[in-house]
């Protein structure tokens, strides 16, 4: 542990890994997470040895939401606000001015060193780059994608004006740079490191190594290549934490030192739903469940090391009863802002009071069920493309039992769905289980009451500006705080 007593914080973001692309199997000490895709005829299954360690030694959030696209999700994590507040509603050339927000590194105690490795995708102009938001170091890309994982342009906060070309496989490079940075810090310095992988975002391809070559499936399909890319990511996570990286010829690295890993809280998430070519449900950029549901784990580094070394498990941050457990609480990636701040002992006096973030620490630090913090989950996507005269507005809001979708291009449209055992039956984009009309017309009193509550929250709380104004579809006789007879 650092001399200051602050824990290290490791945030790992997988790009385009939706909840539909992972599967949790077995139980107890055998419990694991796999990546599962389908090439049209075969379920392609890849083992994730290291993420499975996070799962067994952490708390899994099975109702976690993100924004429907990568840049809005990142802006929500780093600012603790939804898109209508921070202005990042889509991934098309986003620019997040540091002057308009208080970013996560800025609210952590001054003792922390903050590093970001991999994808930024929140602005390439001066004033909008990672150091402007408080990161001490960034190596990776300011842009959102790499056109070729084997030949790409590498940005470095030491001098953004002079880019370099890299032929090191980008997933490997991201881990190499993060490990080098951690090793270069004073061992007593607490750190917050974000590993923002580009993978498994397209272009889909076969990685150089780090995947099981016996993986069954059609090797020519995007689904197969996506699966191998996720396996490779897991293997590189193993390189980073000094654990397993099978089937890999990538060079061994000086991983995060064990004594530091023992004092590290690890957070693993996807940033939005799976891409269209891969998704087993609705795809990213939609406001359907498939577009916003993600895998999310908060894990205890000490317990991970102890399991790996065969020691008795005695976690330092999570309560022992929360290891290898699942919570059904409503959570959102926007909550990571308050959670990471709380883990780090912040906020400093400059903390942002107008945030949409709830700390999740009570869920994983304390024994037993905890009171619900978040009553509603909200996600949105908006874009205006002037040259095509197109404006798209999408939003979704849910409570525990119902989910309301709003979409508008030219004509506003609402849909209402009821959850059954935590899932929306079928697919929302086929509308088969849409009960909006029944609720609006009073044919289902429970749905009508929930629709009224969801509409009130959507229209009253999230009506911030013209970009996200939601027309109220209720007849004028409906009161804001009442339902019709």
pLDDT tens string 68-103: 999 999 999 999 999 999 999 999 999 999 999 999
Q: What is the pLDDT of residue 472?
A: 84
What is the DSSP secondary structure assignment for residue 468, as one 8-state letter? G
292 contacts 396 by C-beta, under 8 angstroms:
yes
Q: Is the pLDDT of residue 37 over 90?
A: yes
* pLDDT exceeds 60 at position 279: yes
Name the least confident of 74-83, 151-160, 227-236, 344-353: 344-353
What's the order of all strands across the beta sheet hosting 390-398?
A: 377-385, 390-398, 402-408, 413-418
pLDDT tens per residue across span 40-74: 999 999 999 999 999 999 999 999 999 999 999 99
**pLDDT average, residue stretch 291-304:** 98
Distance, CA of 25 to CA of 32 (rounded, Å): 6
- CA 183 – CA 187 distance, rounded (Å): 8
The C-alpha atoms of residue 416 and residue 439 are separated, in whole angstroms, by 8
Long-range contacts of 431-437 (CB under 8 A, 24+ apart): 436/404
- Residue carrying the six token digits 């949409």: 356
Residue 217 pLDDT greater than 50, yes or no:
yes
pLDDT of res. 385: 73
pLDDT at residue 480, as a whole number: 45
pLDDT band at 251 (very low <50, low <70, confident <90, very high): confident
Write down the pLDDT at residue 485: 38
| Contact predicate 199/230, CB 8 Å | yes
Query: What integer pLDDT is reported at residue 435 of this predicted model?
Result: 97
Q: What is the pLDDT of residue 467?
A: 60
What confidence score (pLDDT) does residue 410 get?
A: 67
CB under 8 Å to 348, separation ≥6 — which residues? 106, 107, 108, 109, 110
Q: Are 191 and 163 in contact (CB under 8 A)?
A: no
481 pLDDT higher than 50: no
Cβ(380)–Cβ(67) below 8 Å: yes
Q: What percent of the chain has pLDDT over 90?
A: 84
Could you write out the DSSP letters of every residue in 70-119?
Answer: HHHHHHHHHHS--HHHH---SSSS----GGG---HHHHS-TT-EEEEEEE
Contact (Cβ atoms closer than 8 angstroms) between residue 294 and residue 274: no
d(CA 302, CA 320) in angstroms, rounded, equals 11
Partners of residue 254 on adjacent β-strands: none
Q: Are 291 and 273 in contact (CB under 8 A)?
A: yes
Mean pLDDT of the chain: 92
State the Cα–Cα distance between residues 435 and 453, nearest whole angstrom.
Answer: 15
Least confident of 23-37, 138-152, 377-391: 377-391
Residue 373: strand, helix, or coil: coil
Average the pLDDT over 231-240 and give the result. 97
> What number of CA atoms fall less than 13 Å from residue 469's CA on the CB side?
4
Instruction: Give the mean model confidence (pLDDT) for residues 372-384.
Output: 92
Average pLDDT of span 172-178: 97
Least confident of 325-334, 350-359, 390-399: 350-359
The pLDDT-based confidence of 260 (bands split at 50, 70, 90) is very high
CA 274, chain centre distance (Å): 12
Q: For residue 477, what is the DSSP state?
A: T
Q: In the structure, what pLDDT confidence band is assigned to residue 388 with cuts at 50, 70 and 90?
A: low
Report the pLDDT averaged over residues 139-147.
97
């Amino acid at each position: 542990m650092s001399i200051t007593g602050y824990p290290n914080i490791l945030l790992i973001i997988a790009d385009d890994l939706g909840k539909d692309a992972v599967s949790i199997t077995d139980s107890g000490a055998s419990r694991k997470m796999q990546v599962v895709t389908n090439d049209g005829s075969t379920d392609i299954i890849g083992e994730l040895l290291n993420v499975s360690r996070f799962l067994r030694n952490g708390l899994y959030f099975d109702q976690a939401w993100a924004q429907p696209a990568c840049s809005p999700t990142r802006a929500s994590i780093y600012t603790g606000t939804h898109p209508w507040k921070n202005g990042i509603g889509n991934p098309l050339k986003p620019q997040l001015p540091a002057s308009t927000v208080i970013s996560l590194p800025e609210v952590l105690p001054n003792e922390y060193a903050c590093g970001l490795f991999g994808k930024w995708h929140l602005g390439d102009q001066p004033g909008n780059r990672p150091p402007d938001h408080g990161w001490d170091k960034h190596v990776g890309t300011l842009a959102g994608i790499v056109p070729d994982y084997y030949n790409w342009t590498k940005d470095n906060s030491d001098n953004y004006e002079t880019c370099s070309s890299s032929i090191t496989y980008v997933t490997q490079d991201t881990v190499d740079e993060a490990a080098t940075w951690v090793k270069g810090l004073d061992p007593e310095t607490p750190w917050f490191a974000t590993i923002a992988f580009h993978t498994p975002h397209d272009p889909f391809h076969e990685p150089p190594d780090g995947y099981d070559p016996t993986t069954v499936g059609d090797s020519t399909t995007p689904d197969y290549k996506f699966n191998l890319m996720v396996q490779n990511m897991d293997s590189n996570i193993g390189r980073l934490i000094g654990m397993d990286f099978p089937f890999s010829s990538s060079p061994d690295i000086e991983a995060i030192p064990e004594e530091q890993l023992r004092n590290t809280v690890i957070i693993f998430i996807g940033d939005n739903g799976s891409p269209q070519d891969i998704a087993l449900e609705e795809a990213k950029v939609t406001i359907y469940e498939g577009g916003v549901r993600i895998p999310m784990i908060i894990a205890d580094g000490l317990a991970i090391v102890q399991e790996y070394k065969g020691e008795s498990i005695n976690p330092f941050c999570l309560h022992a009863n929360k290891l290898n457990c699942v919570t059904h609480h409503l959570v959102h990636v926007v909550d990571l802002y308050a959670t990471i701040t709380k883990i780090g002992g912040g906020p400093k006096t400059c903390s942002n009071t107008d945030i949409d973030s709830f700390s999740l620490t009570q869920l994983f630090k304390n024994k037993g069920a905890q009171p619900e913090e978040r009553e509603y989950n909200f996600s949105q996507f908006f874009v205006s493309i002037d040259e095509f005269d197109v404006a798209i507005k999408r939003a979704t809001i849910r409570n525990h039992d119902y989910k309301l979708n709003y979409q508008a291009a030219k004509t506003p449209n609402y849909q209402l769905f009821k959850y059954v055992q935590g899932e929306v039956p079928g697919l929302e984009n086929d509308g088969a289980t849409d009960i909006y009309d029944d609720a609006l017309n009073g044919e289902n009193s429970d749905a009508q009451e929930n629709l009224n509550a969801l509409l009130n929250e959507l229209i009253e709380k999230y009506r911030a500006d013209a970009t996200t104004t939601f027309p109220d579809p209720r007849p004028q006789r409906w009161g804001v705080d009442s339902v019709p007879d």
